[in-house]
């Protein structure tokens, strides 16, 4: 009776076929006008708010990226650890911490997101860059 | 009845622990006059049978079922109870044995006041009827059972399986990534940061095979695993090490991220997620050796397979974790793990050390300093190891319980 377990385990394991696949490769989108509400906030919702939310914000750079809160916490706001650098400077992605962190530049400590969706897709990175260069509008 | 027996065995065990440590063993000299006394009932069949009855109720706890001095209560005894199956024992005269069991010494009770003279002679008759065992045979078959205490060392698997019908429950908890600066206190050792947690339940199918199921927070991952002990080290080192095989399948149950239309796999076909993409596999063969009762080491080539990986990564990873356990005393041990990555995206070696506090071999608490906040091996080896050269680390603990 006990011997039944052994074939059972083998069967359970072999039920799931192995695949050998890599991806996805996303086609690069041509980005013209970026909407904060429709394009940027969904990126935060999917990749950032597990940590950057109202409940735990004090431990994660004092930053809350939940909808309705994120915009005011980003635009021209100083990083909590250094008053000389800003999270987002409109029209200036290169000097915005947000862009540098998601661009994996290693300039400002850990790149984001940390885990488990590391890193942002190229399209999402481009969206953030273009949004900042277009003036970081709340549109 | 059997409960009463077990309780009395336990009491004898406890009493012997209390009294035994001070006792230094000297030669037990029997007065010549006593030595010369001949068994008045002359080893009759009836005497042996009644002696055996007395033995089963009074002596078996320490001296063992077959008289080999290996009863359940003998575990903590030093000196060990007399082995009645040795030639040395049988060299003694009946009078000498009679005198010794009458007078007692140390943990060995004096039976003078408890048993009649006839009963004591019956016991002597029974003991004298026991056969001399050739000691070589017994030693040859003894296996090394406790190379490690549990089925996992810190993060890696050990050769250890579970005793038959026994279950193991494990809680593995890792705090967030921290370093020794003001954040260390502010975030309380990393405890305030995002944490990872795994609960696991393992159940023995027999003493060589067990199956387990676990759930890890990262990736909302369920895992199913099984381990089989192929070869077990023996005490005489004729089999010099143990070998076990272990397999585990991780099932990531997190929502798949959105992909935009027109995405493709690396081979050019249209990209879409399927259930198979949630699966990852961990197969390994573990070689372990117990060098002494307090020091064991192991090495375990591990093949990790992910059904789906990001576009510039490989599905297969190959690593060789090395682990060691050094027992400091009966209650504590140091554990160590290092994992050279042979085929992997990032070659920095995961490192872990732990201090294990075990109240018994069935229950332990491990304090861990490690370089990864991942817990499942497929996740540890396929992801980047924390950069400990920058002083970053993860603290955590494991709690283990056999029942």
Across the interface, of A20, A25, A123, the residue whose CB is closest to B315 is A20
Mean pLDDT of chain B: 85
Verify whether the Cβ–Cβ distance B308 to A19 is below 8 Å: yes
pLDDT of residue A13: 62
CB contact under 8 A, B205 and A2: yes
pLDDT at B20: 39
Query: Looking at residue B318, what DSSP letter applies?
Result: E
Q: Does A14 touch chain B (CB under 8 A)?
A: no
Highest mean pLDDT pick, A8-12, A22-26, B134-138, B160-164? B160-164
DSSP β-bridge partners for residue B306: B280
Closest by Cβ to A59, choosing from B193, B310, B383:
B193
Give the pairing of strands B332-338 and B322-329.
antiparallel
Q: Which two tokens stand for residue B272?
A: 């879409």
Verify whether the Cβ–Cβ distance B262 to A26 is below 8 Å.
yes
Between B177, B271, B279, which is nearest A24 by CB? B271
| Interface contact A23, partner B, CB < 8 A | yes
Write down the ipTM of this complex: 0.71
Set of chain A residues whose Cβ sits within 8 Å of the Cβ of B311: 22-25
Q: Does A13 touch chain B if contact means CB atoms closer than 8 Å?
A: yes
**Model confidence at B320: pLDDT above 90:** yes
For B213, half-sphere exposure in the C-beta direction (CA atoms, 13 angstrom radius) is 3
Give me the DSSP letters along B245-304: EEEEEEEE-SPPPP--TT-B-TTSSBP---GGGGEEEEEEEEEEEEEETTEEEEE--EEE
Please tell me the predicted confidence (pLDDT) of residue A17: 66
How close A116 gets to chain B, by Cα (Å)?
7
Instruction: Check residues B217 and A1 and name the one with the higher pLDDT.
Output: B217
Q: Rounded to an integer, what distance in angstroms lies between the CA atom of residue B388 and that of residue B386?
A: 6
pLDDT of residue B341: 94
* A25 at B interface, C-beta within 8 A: yes
Query: Which domains, from first to last, does chain B contain?
Result: 20-129 (1.10.760.10), 167-256+267-402 (2.40.160.40)
Percentage of chain B modeled with pLDDT above 90: 38
Total-model pTM: 0.67
Do B149 and B363 form a contact (C-beta atoms < 8 A)?
Answer: no
């Amino acid at each position: 009776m006990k011997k039944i377990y052994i074939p059972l385990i083998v069967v359970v394991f072999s039920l799931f076929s192995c695949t050998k696949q890599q991806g996805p490769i996303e086609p690069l989108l041509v980005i013209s006008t970026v909407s904060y509400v429709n394009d940027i906030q969904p990126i935060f919702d999917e990749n950032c708010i597990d940590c950057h939310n109202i409940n735990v914000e004090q431990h994660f750079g004092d930053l809350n990226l939940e909808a309705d809160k994120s915009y005011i916490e980003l635009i021209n706001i100083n990083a909590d650890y250094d008053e000389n650098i800003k999270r987002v400077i409109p029209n200036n992605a290169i000097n915005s911490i947000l862009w540098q962190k998601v661009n994996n530049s290693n300039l400002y400590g850990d790149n984001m997101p940390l885990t488990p969706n590391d890193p942002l897709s190229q399209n999402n990175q481009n969206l953030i860059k273009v949004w900042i260069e277009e003036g970081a509008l709340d549109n | 009845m059997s409960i009463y027996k077990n309780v009395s065995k336990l009491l004898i065990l406890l009493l012997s622990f209390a009294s035994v440590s001070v006792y230094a063993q000297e030669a037990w000299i029997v007065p010549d006059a006593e030595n010369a006394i001949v068994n008045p009932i002359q080893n009759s069949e009836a005497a042996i049978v009644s002696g055996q009855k007395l033995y089963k109720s009074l002596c078996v706890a320490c001296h063992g079922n077959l008289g080999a001095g290996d009863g359940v209560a003998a575990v903590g005894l030093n000196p060990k109870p007399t082995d009645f199956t040795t030639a040395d024992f049988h060299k003694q005269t009946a009078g000498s044995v009679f005198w010794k069991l009458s007078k007692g010494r140390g943990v060995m009770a004096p039976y003078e006041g408890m048993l009649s003279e006839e009963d004591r002679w019956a016991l002597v008759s029974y003991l004298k009827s026991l056969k001399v065992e050739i000691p070589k045979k017994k030693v040859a078959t003894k296996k090394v059972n406790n190379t490690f205490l549990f089925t996992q060392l810190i993060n890696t698997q050990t050769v250890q399986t579970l005793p038959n019908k026994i279950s193991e429950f494990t809680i593995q908890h890792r705090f967030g990534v921290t370093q020794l600066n003001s954040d260390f206190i502010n975030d309380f050792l990393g405890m305030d940061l995002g944490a990872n947690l795994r609960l696991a339940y393992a159940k023995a199918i027999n003493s060589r095979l067990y199956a387990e199921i676990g759930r890890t927070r990262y990736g909302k991952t369920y895992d199913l695993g099984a381990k089989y002990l192929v070869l077990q080290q023996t005490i005489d080192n004729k089999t010099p090490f143990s070998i076990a095989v272990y397999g585990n399948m991780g099932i990531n149950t997190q929502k798949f991220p959105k992909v935009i239309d027109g995405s493709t796999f690396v081979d050019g076909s249209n990209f879409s997620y399927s259930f198979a993409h949630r699966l990852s596999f961990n197969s390994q063969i573990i070689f372990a050796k117990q060098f002494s009762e307090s020091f064991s080491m192991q090495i375990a080539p591990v093949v990790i397979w992910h059904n789906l990986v990001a576009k510039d990564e490989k599905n297969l990873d190959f690593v060789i974790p090395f682990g060691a356990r050094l027992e400091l005393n009966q209650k504590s041990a140091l554990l160590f793990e290092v994992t050279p990555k042979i085929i992997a995206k990032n070659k920095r070696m995961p490192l872990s050390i732990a201090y294990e506090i075990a109240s018994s071999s069935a229950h332990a608490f491990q304090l861990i300093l490690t370089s990864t906040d991942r817990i499942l091996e497929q996740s540890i080896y396929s992801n980047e190891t924390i950069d400990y050269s920058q002083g970053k680390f993860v603290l955590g603990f494991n709690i283990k319980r056999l029942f």
